[in-house]
Amino acid sequence: MKYRWAIAPSQPLLATRLASELKIPELLAQCLLNRGFDEPALIGQFLQPRLKQLTDPFLLPNMEAAVERLFRARESNEAIVIFGDYDVDGVTSTALLLEVLGTLGWIAQAYLPHRMDEGYGLTQEAVENCLKKFPVTLMVAVDCGSTSVEVIASLKRQGVDVIVLDHHQISSAPPEAVAVVNPQLLRGGHHAVPNGASSSSNGKADRDARANSAFADLCSVGLAFKLAHAIVKRGRETNLPRAQDFDLRSLLDLVALGTIADIVPLTGENRILVSAGLERLNTTSRPGLIALKSVSQTRERLGVYEVGFQLAPRLNAAGRLENATAALDLLLACNFSHAMELARKLDSHNRDRQKIERAIVEEALEAVRARLEGSESFIIVEGRPHWHIGVVGIVASRILQQFYRPTIIVGGEGDEWRGSGRSIAGFDLAAALRECSDLLVRHGGHAMAAGVTLAAKNLEPFRERLDTVARRTLSADHLQQPLRLDAEIGLHEVNLECLRTLDHLKPVGQGNAQPQFVARKLVHQRPLQRVGASKQHVKMWVTDGKASREALWWRAGEESLPVGSFDLAFVPQLEHFNGQQTIQLKVLDWRVSA
């Protein structure tokens, strides 16, 4: 087996009761139980997400202070700069805030740092360059700033106020910004009491628990939407021109795009925003998104996969290789011809990015295989001076998929290298980096992904330290990727009605995995067939004696293939070809039947 199988325990009594109460199939009830839903009211909200279920934005920490400062800026005609990040989350957040603020009468500009020249976030150099271009007294830092204590203190001394709108982990002493709007503040240590709310400990604890549950997994574009909601809400209360007619739903295409691209859990408010946002994205009138869909050659109906693997990489490509301004300009484009020029440029950047990425992945795989041979290392840290820092994060993801260990890949020029890390379940990468801070120039991020800057000479000491930290947390079992399976089912149960039933779980993604099943004691009905340009895929026809199904194992490569009697882990899916619908099993793994 490639994976460590974890088949969810069957709960027939509870599944039957829920199925009866909610009038849903028992298989769907079992899948919901596996995802932690056992209350009919909560299941109803999950299966039918509605925008009216969204929580009051003013329950976010320091939202009141952020809105108050923004309204003060508008009243005095004070210019604002939105300082965003260069990834899709940062760019969509920036575009969203420019649209809202511009429409409602603020004087707002945007600045996106250059990945290669200025690095990530509120670096001193990036901030200085920003203020030279836009000499403002109010900066909104989006998707960054939660650990920028020194830079924000320096800005304060210069008379520049900063609002931080971010979801990454916060430094132990938060920066002295006018407002740090970050859900991490709800998790303990630094709490904010909404304006006018009771400060009683019990009431505050209840509010914080409710807000933490609602906001915990929002990424920055989700927070930007909450800020927009708060601004419009306050604007309607104060008769701000155009606020009464502003339709917040018009922003949801950007929210869906940034949220899916940032791979945050599609649960809670994210599920609501992405569900509504995908509907908006499929009917969007934004010239930039229409052009992006065109060059990406997406199918007619977009889902999470198409957004995450076709649209997002093209938007990301600009910031990875050059400057993310082209991606921002595309989202803000007013006419289709200009949007198509920008979309084609991003598509070209993406092809270049893919070539660079493939070359580095090959080198990295070779280096990792050599280092792990005969080694018991729990982590992977690799770097070369010529590895392009714009793609090291993607390379880290590819390496992690292959070896399933916390992975950091760095590159760059000169004495300092920069890079990105990706982690596995059970290992908080951002916390681990804090234990290595004396070996790093800079670091930041969250549990599953982080960025680092370090002196090239510290690469080996850093590798050793991180491995020591990992061994305190992880065991050998953690290094075999778990495969969570929802239920054991017979092949005769995999039918069109089953697939329609499972569609109620969409949108699926991080935190709400696609339903996965196991069928036992299968045999081949006919010989296997290798397909694809490089014969890298394997097509199978399997039967359990009661029913037969076609199965496809994508990128099977040199993996050992099923023989004899075997159990198959799979995702059921509907294939469309030449106007025909075919049920197909997407193979995840197999094992010899007991």
**Per-residue pLDDT tens over the stretch 351-403:** 999 999 999 999 999 999 999 988 889 999 999 999 999 999 999 999 999 99
Across the chain, what does the average pLDDT equal? 93
Residue 5 contacts residue 483 (beta carbons within 8 Å): yes
Whole-number Å distance between alpha carbons of 581 and 574? 6
Interval 514-567: pLDDT, tens: 999 999 999 999 999 999 888 889 999 999 999 999 999 998 877 789 999 999
Q: What is the mean pLDDT of residues 564-572?
A: 97
pLDDT at 594: 87
Contacts for 138 with CB less than 8 Å, ≥ 6 apart: 69, 70, 73, 78, 79, 80, 81, 160, 161, 162, 163
Candidates 501, 526, 515, 533; CA nearest to 572 is: 515
- pLDDT at residue 310, rounded to an integer: 96
**Residue 512 β-bridge partners:** 509
Quickly count: other Cβ atoms within 10 Å of residue 176's Cβ. 12
For 283-376, where are the alpha helices, taking DSSP H only?
Answer: 287-296, 304-306, 312-321, 325-332, 336-372
CB 382 within 8 A of CB 409: yes
Residue 134 phi/psi, 5-degree rounding, is: -130, 90
When pLDDT is averaged across residues 261-283 and rounded to a whole number, the result is 95
pLDDT of 75 strictly over 50: yes
- The token duo for 148 is 């920028």
Q: How far apart are CA 534 and CA 417, in angstroms?
A: 36
The Cα–Cα gap between 575 and 304 comes to: 17
Q: Is the peptide bond before 287 cis (omega within 30 degrees of 0)?
A: no
Model confidence at 210: pLDDT above 70 = no
pLDDT for 316-348, tens place per residue? 998 888 789 999 999 999 999 999 999 999 999
Q: Is 208's pLDDT higher than 80? A: no
Which burial class, exposed, middle or buried, applies to 175 when counting CB atoms under 10 A from its CB (0-12, 13-18, 19+)?
A: buried
Q: How many CB atoms lie within 10 A of CB 456?
A: 16
CATH class of 57-249: alpha beta
Residues 468, 446: Cα–Cα separation, whole Å: 20
Q: Mean per-residue pLDDT for 465-480? A: 95
Euclidean distance between the first and the last CA atom of the chain, given in angstroms as a whole number: 13
Other residues' Cβ atoms within 10 Å of the Cβ of residue 437: 10
Q: What is the CATH number of domain 376-479?
A: 3.10.310.30
- Look at residue 499 and tell me whether its pLDDT is greater than 70: yes
Give the single-character DSSP code of 405: S
pLDDT above 50 (res 197): no
Of residues 360 and 203, the one with the higher pLDDT is: 360
Residue 189 is predicted with a pLDDT of: 46
Q: Which pLDDT does position 200 carry in this prediction?
A: 52
Q: What is the DSSP-derived secondary structure letter of residue 493?
A: G
CATH number for region 4-34+486-592: 2.40.50.460
User: What integer pLDDT is reported at residue 413 of this predicted model?
Assistant: 80
- Predicted pLDDT of residue 79: 97
Asked if 146 contacts 169 with a C-beta cutoff of 8 angstroms, the reply is yes
- Asked if residue 167 has pLDDT above 70, the reply is yes
- Domain chopping of the chain, boundaries: 4-34+486-592, 57-249, 376-479
Q: Which residue has the tokens 């004070």?
A: 78
Position with higher pLDDT, 118 vs 466: 466
Q: How many CB atoms are closer than 10 A to CB 128?
A: 13
Confidence (pLDDT) at 206: 66
pLDDT score of 193? 41
